[in-house]
Amino acid sequence: MARRLAFGVDLGGTRVRVVLGDDRGRIFSRVSENTEIRMGPEGISKQIIRIIRSMRIEGFRLEDAEGVGIGSAGPLDMKRGGLMKPTNIPYEFVPLVEPIEEDLGLRTSLLNDCTSAVVGEKFFGSGKDVQDLAYVTISTGIGGGIYVDGHLLVGKDGNAHEIGHFTIDMDGHLVCGCGKRGHWEAYCSGRNIPDYVNLILDEKTSGEIRRSLLGKVPKNEDGRITAKSLYESAKNGDGLALEIVDKVGHLNAAGFACVNDAYDPSLITVGGSVALNNAELVIEPVRRYIGEHSRNRIPQIDITVLGDDIVSFGALANIFYRGET
């Protein structure tokens, strides 16, 4: 059987990744660049087109590709095929589907990045034989993708499961990037863990902080302790860092419990830079504490086997297996 090829795009506000792969989940070529946000709303689609046209493997012609799948940070406007007031991209609307289809002559399909990720898990990862599947990313933000009874949940605008905006703190001590208080993402995402660390350190004495590695680690430009510094200190056995990581784990467990009770998955896979770089420190507290919050039977919870490429795999699968998602 001749191999089937397509392009998969993982579009974020910081980086855009493009892969050329086949329907068996083999990736033959990949390019990663900083997302071009300075050239107007059409600059991003032009960047994707340029990257795709630059990708070459032996015996492949552009017209041989079956399409272009895109998994993108949202919010999405599915009807118009683009992004509506996207996070970290300073435009009201960013067109994607139409300009790429017109220029390349290839069918182009758009999904939310976390929706794309769970599709990747379903067709190329640990979810191949799973009908009820959830994917959670803990990265700069927190997001999710869901299958229930073998059906992919998408929603009217493609934004069906903004799980990072589940409320996990009714007191609302911290404000989410969306402007609302108490959201999961406001406490446990890579961008906002520094705020939570500060909240806890405000309750500690200066002596406790001085004796901790957290009093010595490099800070970000705002003078805050980064998520990376927190987890590195915990890996080095620092008591205060381990205490804070455990508290983050409690909050993550509450978020995972909401996912479990809302969607009842038999498997939750986890990705994103915070989780992938600190797998044990992120996953073990969730497994340990989720039972304190969840009504439903606890599912299997694992780090995704697809790593950083999970969104790209999903973008490919969305082209090859569109009718089956």
Alpha carbon distance 300, 118 (integer Å):
15
* Judgement on whether residues 19 and 110 belong to the same structural domain of the protein: yes
Q: Could you tell me the CATH number of the domain that includes residue 43?
A: 3.30.420.40
* Judgement on whether residues 300 and 314 belong to the same structural domain of the protein: no
* Judgement on whether residues 248 and 149 belong to the same structural domain of the protein: yes
Of the candidates 30, 25, 70, which has an alpha carbon nearest to the alpha carbon of residue 51? 30
Alpha carbon distance 99, 120 (integer Å):
25
Cα–Cα distances in Å, from 80 out to 7, 50, 98, 274, 275?
A: 21, 22, 8, 32, 33
Cα–Cα distances in Å, from 242 out to 234, 245, 281?
A: 5, 5, 9
- Token digits of residue 323: 């009718």
Alpha carbon distance 123, 315 (integer Å):
11
φ, ψ of residue 173 to 5 degrees: the values are -65, -35
Which pLDDT score, from 0 to 100, does residue 2 have? 63
Q: Tokens 């996990």: give the residue.
A: 168
* Judgement on whether residues 60 and 176 belong to the same structural domain of the protein: no
> What b-and-e string marks burial along 6-33, b requiring 16 or more CB atoms within 10 Å of the CB?
bbbbbbbbeebbbbbbbbebeeeebeee
* Judgement on whether residues 54 and 156 belong to the same structural domain of the protein: no
Contacts of 172 (CB under 8 A, 6+ apart): 181, 182
Collapsing DSSP to helix, strand or coil, 176 comes out as coil
Q: Show the domain range for 205.
A: 128-305
* Judgement on whether residues 136 and 100 belong to the same structural domain of the protein: no
Compute the CA torsion angle 47, 155, 274, 217 (nearest 10 deg).
80
Report the domain count for the chain: 2
Is the omega angle on the peptide bond into residue 90 within 30 degrees of 0, that is, cis?
Answer: no
3-state helix vs strand vs coil in the chain, percent to 5: 40, 20, 40
- Token digits of residue 117: 């990720």
* Judgement on whether residues 150 and 298 belong to the same structural domain of the protein: yes
Which pLDDT score, from 0 to 100, does residue 325 have? 65
* Judgement on whether residues 146 and 192 belong to the same structural domain of the protein: yes
* Judgement on whether residues 52 and 180 belong to the same structural domain of the protein: no
**SS3 of 10-56:** EECCCEEEEEEEECCCCEEEEEEEECCCCCCCCHHHHHHHHHHHHCC
Digitized pLDDT (tens) for each residue of the chain, 325 residues in all = 467 999 999 998 889 999 999 999 999 999 999 999 899 999 999 999 999 999 988 888 999 999 999 999 888 998 999 999 887 788 999 999 999 999 999 999 999 999 999 999 999 999 999 999 999 999 989 999 999 999 999 988 777 878 999 999 999 899 998 889 999 999 999 999 999 999 999 999 999 999 999 999 988 888 899 999 999 999 999 999 999 999 999 999 999 999 999 999 999 999 999 999 999 999 999 999 999 999 999 999 999 999 999 999 999 999 999 867 6
Q: Tokens 């989940």: give the residue.
A: 25
* Judgement on whether residues 18 and 108 belong to the same structural domain of the protein: yes
* Judgement on whether residues 109 and 139 belong to the same structural domain of the protein: no
* Judgement on whether residues 114 and 169 belong to the same structural domain of the protein: no
